[in-house]
Structure 1
Amino acid sequence: MSTLLVEIGTEELPADFARLALPQLEQLVSRDLQGLRLSYGMIQCTSTPRRLVVLVEDLASATADLEEVRKGPPAGQAFKNGVPTQAAAGFAKRCGLKPEDLEIRETPKGPFVFATVLQHGRSAMELLTDQIPEWIGSLQGRRFMRWGEGERRFSRPIRWLVALLDEQIIPVCLDGSDPEICAANLSRGHRLHDQAVIIPSAGSYVQTLAKVGVEVDRQKRGTLIRQAIDTAAAGLEACPDCPDDLFEELTDLVEAPLLLEGAFAKSYLDLPAEVLSTVMRVHQRYVPLYRLNAVNDPLALDAKSSLLPRFLCISNGLAKASDPVRLGNERVLKARLADAEFFVEADRSLASIERRKKLAHVTFAEGLGSLLDRVERMEWITDVLVELLDLSAEISVQVRRAVHLCKHDLVSQMVGEFPELQGVMGAKYLLAEGEPREVALAVLEHYLPRGAGDTLPESESGAVLALAERLELLLSIYAKGDRPSGSSDPYALRRAGNGLLQILWSKGWRLNLLALLQRATNHWSKLLPHLKVTPSTLAAELGEFLRQRMLSLLEEAGTDTDLAQAVAGETVLIDRLLSDPADARLRVDLLVRMRRTGKLLAVQAVVTRAARLAEKGDLPATVLSAAEVVDPDLFEKPSELEMLKVLDALEPITKDSSSERYRHLADGLIAGSEALAAFFDGDQSVMVMSEDLAVRANRLNLLSLLRNQAGVLADFSQISG
C-alpha cells in the first residue's frame, strides 16, 4: 500500500476558494479511485493560501485483474454445423478472443455463446498520470482566470505541482499552463522565504512543511488560531468578536498563524461600537474585543462601555517582524477610524428629515421610481397594517413616524462607505436628534431578520415596519415582472418572504394576508400604471410564492414533509392558508405533537376511512354544518344518528376562534371513532352506497362532513401512516 500526495501550488488564493474547492476535490478523488478500482484508505484534502493538497493513505499499487463474462448471440446463430459464423467471429473479435475460445452455455432462453474476458490490472502510477490533471481541471469556483499565453483556467495562476506516490514522482504535466507545469517533488515554504522545499516522500509531506514554517493542516491551523484568540482575550479580560465567517477567513488567509495585539486611541470610543467593529472585522479582518459582561444596547451612541481600545490580528508574517507589523496595522486602523469619525460628523451636521429628501434622487429599481417613492409605498402599507392588526394608538404613532424616516441613512456618508450599517446608523442618528427610542428601535429592527437564523424584531413597531418593508419589496419587484428562479434571486425575494412569515409567526398576529395582497395589488396597479399590473394575477402569484416559502420554512425547521403538505400543500386552498398564516403554524405544531404522542394515528384512522367514501359524494369542502345537508328522517339505523351527534358536537369547535380549538377538534375526532366504527361495522352498520339514492346521498354527506370538519385542522389525505 502507498501514500499519494498531490499539491497544487498557486499564487495567493481567495480566502473563500478553499471552502468551495476542498469538498469538490475530496468527492472527485473518492469517486474516481472507486471507478478505477484502486482501493484506498483515508482521503485528506486541505489547503493554505498558496496550495490545495490531497493526501490518500493505503492506496493500492495497482488494480486487480478483472475477469468478465460477456453474453453473445444465440448458439444457433454463432455456429453452423460446428463452424463459427460471422456473428461468432465478430463477437470474439470485440472481446479480444479467437472464435474457438467461446463457450456455449444453457440459459432460460436456450443456448447462448459466452466469452470470458480477462482485463489485466493497471498500475496506480499509470492511472494517476491521466487522472490528476482531470481532478485539477474539474474544480469549479468564482472568478476563474487565465494567465500568460496559456488557456488553462484556475482561481489563481498555478506555479508548481507536487505529485508523489510514496517517493516516486508521478509524471504529470498540465497542458495549457504558461509556463508549462510538470510535477516534481519540490514544494514551497512560507511566502516570505519562498525557497524550494524538497518533499522526500508523500508520507513526510506535512512534517516537512511544518519544519519550514507552514501549517498545511487547515483544521489544525484553525484550532491554533482559535486557541490564540481565546487565550489573548482572556488575558485582557475581554470577549473576542470573532464570528464564524471571520474565523474561516482568517484560517484561509495565513499559512503560519501569528497573533498580534494592537491598540487604538481611546477617543475613537466616542464612535458607536458597530462602527468600530465593522471597520475592524469587515475591512481589516481584525478581532474586536468587547468588555466582559458589557450591556448590549443596540442604540448606544458610543462604545465607551462596551469595547476595549484594543484588537487582535492574525498575521502571516514572521515572529521577528511582529513589532513593525503591529505598528503598521495600528496605523492602517487609525486612518480607517479617522475616516469613520469624519463620516459620522458629516452625517450629524444634517438632520435626518432633510437627508430623507435626498432619497428622491436615488433610483430604487427600473420602473419603480426612487427610494423616496419606495418609502411612500411602505407608508401606505404601514397604514393598512395598522388598521388590520388593530394596533394601539401609541404603536400606530411610533410606526408611522418610523416608516417616514426608515431609509434616510441610505444616503448618509457612513452607510455609503459601510453598507453593512444601514438601519443601525439610521436609528442612532434619529435617537441623537431626539426622536423617541421606540421610533429609533423600529428603524433598527425593520431590517430583521437579515437571513436564516437571524434574530427577529422584538418591538411591535419594528415588526410592523419589517412587514411593510418586505411586502413593498415583494409587491414592487413582482409588479415589474422579476421572479426568483433557481439560484438566482437578486432582490432576495425568498428571504423577504421567509422574514414576512417568521415575523407573523413569532408575534402570533392574525393577519389576512391574502386580503391584504388583493387590496395592495389594486393600489399598485394605480400607482404604477406603466407596469400594466393585473391585480388578481399578481395577488395569486404572490400567494403561491408565499405558500412555497411556508413549506420551505416548515421543512427547514424539521417538520415532516407530509405534515407540512397537509397544512400548506397545493391541496389546501390558498385563501384558507393565507387568511391567517399564524394559524397554519399552530396547526402544524399540533400535528407534530400529536405524531410524537401517537394521537395522530388515531385521528387518521377516523378521518381516512370516512374520506375514502366521501370522495363518491359531491358535498363542497367548505360545508361544515349538517343543518341543511343531512336529513335525520332518512336514517335507518341508530349508528347514523350517533354519527350526526358527533358532527353536531364538532361543528362549533370548527368555527371557534380560541387558541385551543384545534386540540379540541382532534380530541373530538378521536372520541368519534366509536360512532364511526358502529357506522361501518357491527349489527348497527349501514350500507353507504344504498340503492335508495336519497339515503345514499344522506350517508355520503355524513362522511363528507366528517372529512370537511377534519380538514379544518389539515388535509389528512396528505399524511402518511
Structure 2
Amino acid sequence: MSTFLLEIGTEELPADFARLALPQLEQQVKRDLEAARLSFRQVETTSTPRRLVVQVADLADVSPDLRDERKGPPAAQAFKDGVPTQAAIGFAKRCGIDPADLEVRETPKGPFVFAEVLEKGRPARELLAEVIPQWISALQGRRFMRWGVGESRFSRPVRWLVALLGTELIPVTLSGSDPVVQSGQTSRGHRLYSDAVAIPSADDYASALAAAGVVVNRSERASTIRTAVETSAAALDAVPDLPGELFEELTDLVETPLLIEGSVADHYLALPAEVLSTVMRAHQRYVPLYRKDADSDPLALDARKSLLARFLCIGNGLADATDTVRRGNERVLKARLADAEFFVQADRAVPSIDRRDQLQRVTFAEGLGSLLDRVERLEWLTDVLAEQLELPQDSVAHARRAAHLCKHDLVSQMVGEFPELQGVMGGKYLLAEGEPREVALAVLEHYQPKGAGDVLPSSVAGAVVALAERLELLLSIYAKGERPTGSSDPYALRRAGNGILQILWDQGWSLNLQTLLERATSHWAGLLPAFKVDASALADELGELLRQRLQSLLEEAGTDADLVQAVAGDGVSLTRVLADPGDARQRAALLRTLRSAGDLAAVQAVVTRAAKLATKGDLPTSVLSAQMVVDDNLFEKGSEAAMLEVLNGLEPIATGSDLDRYGQLAQGLIAGSSALANFFDGDDSVMVMAEDPAVRTNRLNLLGVLNNQASVLADFSRISG
C-alpha cells in the first residue's frame, strides 16, 4: 500500500472555487477508486490559491481479481444438437471466453447457459493514469476560461501537475492544454519564497511545501487565521467583525497567513460605523474591530462609540515586508474612506424628500413604472395592512411616513457606490434630518430579513413596511407574468414569500392573507391595465406560492413532511391555510409534540378509519355538532352512546376560539381514543354499514362529525405511520 498524491497547479484561483471544487473532486476520487476495486483508508482534499490537492492514504497497489458469473440465453437457444448457436457464440464473445467453456445449469425457469468470467486486477498506477485527466475535466465551477490555443477549460490556467504513488511517478498528459501539461515530481512554492519544489514522495508533500512557504492544509491555514485575529483583537480589548463568508475568503486568498494591524485616521470615525465596516470588509477584505462595550444602536450617526481606529488584514507576503504592506493597505483604505466621506457629505446636502422625487427618473422594471410608482404602491399596501392588523395609531403614522420615504436613499451617492448599505443610509439620513426615530428605524428595517437566518424587523412600523415591500414585489412581478422556475428566481420571490411569513410569526400577528390578496390583486388590475390581470387567478397563484413557502419553512424548522401536509398540504383548503399562517404553524408544532410523546399514533388510527368510512355518507364538512345529525334513539350498542359522549365533549372545543383550543382538542381525542376504538373493534363494536338505512346513516353521521372535528386540528389522512 502507498500514499497517492495529486496536485493540480494553477494560476491564482478565485477564492470561492476551491470550496466548490474540493467536494466534487473527493466524490469523483472515491467513486472511481471503489469502482476499480482499489482499497484505501481515506481520501483527503485541500487547496491553496494556486493548487487543488488530493491525497489518498494506504491505497492498494493492485486491484484484486474479480470472478463474475453471468447468465446467458436458455440452453435450447444456445445449443442445437450440441453445437453452439450464434446466440451462444455472441454471449461467449461478450464475456471474453471460448464457447466451449460455457456451462448449462438448471434454474427455476429451466436450463440456461452460464459463463464464469475472470477479470484480472490492474495496477493502481495504470488505473490512475486513465482517471486523473477525467477528474480534472469533470470539475464544474463558474466563469471557466480557455488559455493559449488549447481547448481545455478550467477556472484558471493549469500550469503543472504532480501525480505520485508513493515515490513512483504516474505519467499523465492533459490533452487540449497549450502549452501541454505533463505530470512530474516538481511543485511550486510561495511566489515570494521559491519557485520549483521537488517532491520526492507523496508522504513528503506537505513538509516540502512548508519549507517553500506554503501552508498547504486549508484547515491549518484557517486555524492560524482565526487564532491570530482573536489574539490580536483580545490584546486591543476588541471584538473582530469577521463573518463566516469573509473568513472563508481570507483562508482561500493566502498560502502563508500573515496578520497585519493597521490604523484609521480618527476623523473618519465621524462616519457611520456601517460605512467603515462595509468599506473594510466588502471592498478591502479587512477585519474591523468593535469595542467590547460597543453602542449597538443601528441608527448611530458616527462610529466613535463602536469602532476602534484600527483594523486587521491577512497578508500573503514576507514577514520582513509587514511595515510596507501595512502602509500600502492604510493608503488604500484612506482613499476609499475619503470617497465615502465625500458621498455622505454630498447626500446630506440634499433633503431626503427631494431624493424621493428623483425616484421618478429610475425604472423599477419594464411595464411596472418607476421606483416612485413602486413606492406609491407600497404606501397603499401599508395602509391596507395597518387597517387589517388594527395597529395603534402612532405605529400606523410612523409606518406611513416610513413607506413614503423608504426608497429615497436608492438615488443617494453613498448607496450608488455601496449598494449593500441601502436602507441603512436611508434611516441615518432621515434621523439626521429630524425625522422621528421610529420612522428612521422602519426605513432601515424594511429590508429585513435579507435572507435565511437574517434578523427580522424589531419595530411595528418596520415590520409593516417590510410586509408591504415584499407583497408589492410579489404582486407586481406576478402581474407582469414572471414566475420563479426551478433554481431561477431573479427577483427573489420565494425569499419574499418566506419573509412575509417569518415577519408575521415573529410579530405574532394574525393576518388573513387571502382577504388581503383578493383586495390587492383587484387594485393591481386597475393599476396595471396593460398586463390584463385576472385578479382572481393572480390571487390564487400568489396564495399557492405562500402555501409552498409555508410548507418549506415548516420543514426547515424540523417538522416531518407528513405533518406539514396535514396542516398545510394540498388537501387542506387554501382559504384555511391563508386565513392565518400562524395557525398552521401552531398546529404543526402541536402535532410534533404529540408524535414525540407517542400520543399521535392512537388518535390517528381511529380518526383515519373514521374518515374512510365517513366518505360513504354525505355529511357536509362544516357540521361539527353531533346533536344536529345524530339520533340516539337509533343506537343499538353502548359504544355508540360512548362515542356520542366523546363528540359532545369535543364540539365546544372544535367550534370555540380559545388560544389553546388545538391542545384541548388533541387531549380530548386522546382521552376518547379508547371509546372511539371500541366503536370499531371492542366487545361492544358495531357494524357501521348496517342493513337498516336509518341506523347506517346515523352511524356514518357519527363518524362524519368525528372526522370534521378532528380536521379542525389536521388532515389525519396525510399523516403516515
Q: Please classify the TM superposition score into its range, dividing by the shorter chain length.
A: over 0.9
Structure 2 CA distance, aligned partners of 1:26 and 1:174? 20
SS in 2 for 1:183: strand
Aligned equivalent of 2:496: 496
Structure 2 CA distance, aligned partners of 1:674 and 1:117? 63
1:507 Cα deviation after fit: 1.4
Aligned equivalent of 1:690: 690
SS in 2 for 1:259: strand
Aligned equivalent of 2:463: 463
Cα deviation per residue 1:129-166 (whole Å; 9 max; x = unaligned)? Answer: 11000000000000001111111110011111111111
Aligned equivalent of 2:433: 433
Structure 1 CA distance, aligned partners of 2:356 and 2:86? 89
Aligned equivalent of 1:307: 307
Structure 1 gap ranges (5+): none
Structure 1 CA distance, aligned partners of 2:392 and 2:120? 83
Cα deviation per residue 1:66-116 (whole Å; 9 max; x = unaligned)? Answer: 222222333344344444444433333333322332223232233333222
Aligned equivalent of 1:110: 110
SS in 1 for 2:205: helix
Aligned equivalent of 1:452: 452
Structure 2 CA distance, aligned partners of 1:681 and 1:129? 69
Structure 1 CA distance, aligned partners of 2:54 and 2:575? 55
1:680 Cα deviation after fit: 3.1
* Cα distance change, pair 100–598 in 1 and its aligned pair in 2 (3 A): closer
1:620 Cα deviation after fit: 2.4
Aligned equivalent of 1:554: 554
Structure 1 CA distance, aligned partners of 2:678 and 2:92? 73
Structure 2 CA distance, aligned partners of 1:670 and 1:86? 70
How do 1:464-483 residues align onto structure 2 when only pairs under 5 Å count?
Answer: 464-483=464-483
SS in 1 for 2:626: coil
SS in 1 for 2:197: strand
8 Å Cα contact 2:381-2:472 kept in structure 1: yes
Aligned equivalent of 2:261: 261
1:681 Cα deviation after fit: 4.6
* Cα distance change, pair 124–303 in 1 and its aligned pair in 2 (3 A): same
How do 1:517-532 residues align onto structure 2 when only pairs under 5 Å count?
Answer: 517-532=517-532
Aligned length: 721
Aligned equivalent of 1:701: 701
1:440 Cα deviation after fit: 0.9
8 Å Cα contact 2:547-2:568 kept in structure 1: yes
Aligned equivalent of 2:395: 395
Aligned equivalent of 1:418: 418
1:622 Cα deviation after fit: 2.5
Output the amino acid matched with 1:157.
P
Output the amino acid matched with 1:206.
A
Aligned equivalent of 1:292: 292
Output the amino acid matched with 1:363.
T
Aligned equivalent of 1:673: 673
How do 1:25-36 residues align onto structure 2 when only pairs under 5 Å count?
Answer: 25-36=25-36
Is residue 53 of structure 2 the alignment partner of residue 56 of structure 1? no
Aligned equivalent of 2:195: 195
1:551 Cα deviation after fit: 0.7
Structure 1 CA distance, aligned partners of 2:200 and 2:680? 82
1:315 Cα deviation after fit: 0.3
Structure 2 CA distance, aligned partners of 1:197 and 1:588? 61
Aligned equivalent of 1:131: 131
Aligned equivalent of 1:273: 273
Structure 1 CA distance, aligned partners of 2:599 and 2:445? 40
1:178 Cα deviation after fit: 1.1
Range 38-47 or range 87-96, more displaced: 87-96
Output the amino acid matched with 1:570.
D
Range 66-75 or range 136-145, more displaced: 66-75
Aligned equivalent of 1:4: 4
1:195 Cα deviation after fit: 1.2
Aligned equivalent of 1:183: 183
8 Å Cα contact 1:192-1:317 kept in structure 2: yes
Is residue 369 of structure 2 the alignment partner of residue 382 of structure 1? no
Range 101-110 or range 385-394, more displaced: 101-110
Structure 2 CA distance, aligned partners of 1:279 and 1:257? 22
Cα deviation per residue 1:544-601 (whole Å; 9 max; x = unaligned)? Answer: 1111101100111111111111101111000011101111111111111122222223
Name the TM-score, length of structure 2 as normaliser.
0.98
Aligned equivalent of 1:17: 17
How do 1:69-108 residues align onto structure 2 when only pairs under 5 Å count?
Answer: 69-108=69-108
Aligned equivalent of 1:240: 240
Structure 1 CA distance, aligned partners of 2:597 and 2:415? 51
Range 673-682 or range 476-485, more displaced: 673-682
Output the amino acid matched with 1:213.
G
Structure 1 CA distance, aligned partners of 2:719 and 2:72? 50
Aligned equivalent of 1:213: 213
8 Å Cα contact 1:423-1:444 kept in structure 2: yes
Aligned equivalent of 1:231: 231
Output the amino acid matched with 1:52.
L
1:690 Cα deviation after fit: 1.7
SS in 2 for 1:428: helix
Aligned equivalent of 2:646: 646
* Cα distance change, pair 639–91 in 1 and its aligned pair in 2 (3 A): closer
* Cα distance change, pair 618–317 in 1 and its aligned pair in 2 (3 A): same
* Cα distance change, pair 644–89 in 1 and its aligned pair in 2 (3 A): closer
1:607 Cα deviation after fit: 1.6
Structure 1 CA distance, aligned partners of 2:76 and 2:496? 71
1:718 Cα deviation after fit: 1.1
SS in 1 for 2:620: coil
SS in 2 for 1:91: helix
Output the amino acid matched with 2:601.
L
1:699 Cα deviation after fit: 1.6
Structure 2 CA distance, aligned partners of 1:58 and 1:623? 71
Is residue 603 of structure 2 the alignment partner of residue 600 of structure 1? no
8 Å Cα contact 1:606-1:670 kept in structure 2: no
1:248 Cα deviation after fit: 0.1
Structure 2 CA distance, aligned partners of 1:2 and 1:682? 69
Range 607-616 or range 484-493, more displaced: 607-616
Aligned equivalent of 1:718: 718
1:413 Cα deviation after fit: 0.6
Structure 2 CA distance, aligned partners of 1:498 and 1:702? 40
Aligned equivalent of 2:369: 369
SS in 1 for 2:226: helix
Is residue 338 of structure 2 the alignment partner of residue 338 of structure 1? yes
Output the amino acid matched with 1:272.
P
SS in 1 for 2:410: helix
Structure 2 CA distance, aligned partners of 1:498 and 1:213? 47
Structure 2 CA distance, aligned partners of 1:682 and 1:47? 68
SS in 1 for 2:281: helix
8 Å Cα contact 1:264-1:310 kept in structure 2: yes
8 Å Cα contact 2:498-2:553 kept in structure 1: yes
Structure 1 CA distance, aligned partners of 2:685 and 2:192? 90
8 Å Cα contact 2:193-2:213 kept in structure 1: no
Cα deviation per residue 1:118-139 (whole Å; 9 max; x = unaligned)? Answer: 2221111111111000000000
Output the amino acid matched with 2:340.
A
Cα deviation per residue 1:324-378 (whole Å; 9 max; x = unaligned)? Answer: 1100000000000000000100000011111101111111111111111111111
Aligned equivalent of 1:657: 657
Structure 1 CA distance, aligned partners of 2:674 and 2:156? 73
Cα deviation per residue 1:28-67 (whole Å; 9 max; x = unaligned)? Answer: 1111111111111211111000111111111111211222
8 Å Cα contact 1:11-1:159 kept in structure 2: yes
Percentage of pairs with the same residue: 71
How do 1:323-334 residues align onto structure 2 when only pairs under 5 Å count?
Answer: 323-334=323-334
1:194 Cα deviation after fit: 5.0
SS in 2 for 1:553: helix
Structure 1 CA distance, aligned partners of 2:553 and 2:83? 71
1:176 Cα deviation after fit: 1.0
8 Å Cα contact 1:240-1:287 kept in structure 2: yes
RMSD: 1.5
SS in 2 for 1:478: helix
1:627 Cα deviation after fit: 4.7
8 Å Cα contact 1:606-1:669 kept in structure 2: no
Structure 2 CA distance, aligned partners of 1:453 and 1:14? 26
1:660 Cα deviation after fit: 0.8
* Cα distance change, pair 644–228 in 1 and its aligned pair in 2 (3 A): same
Structure 1 CA distance, aligned partners of 2:438 and 2:273? 20
8 Å Cα contact 1:497-1:549 kept in structure 2: yes
Structure 1 CA distance, aligned partners of 2:482 and 2:82? 73
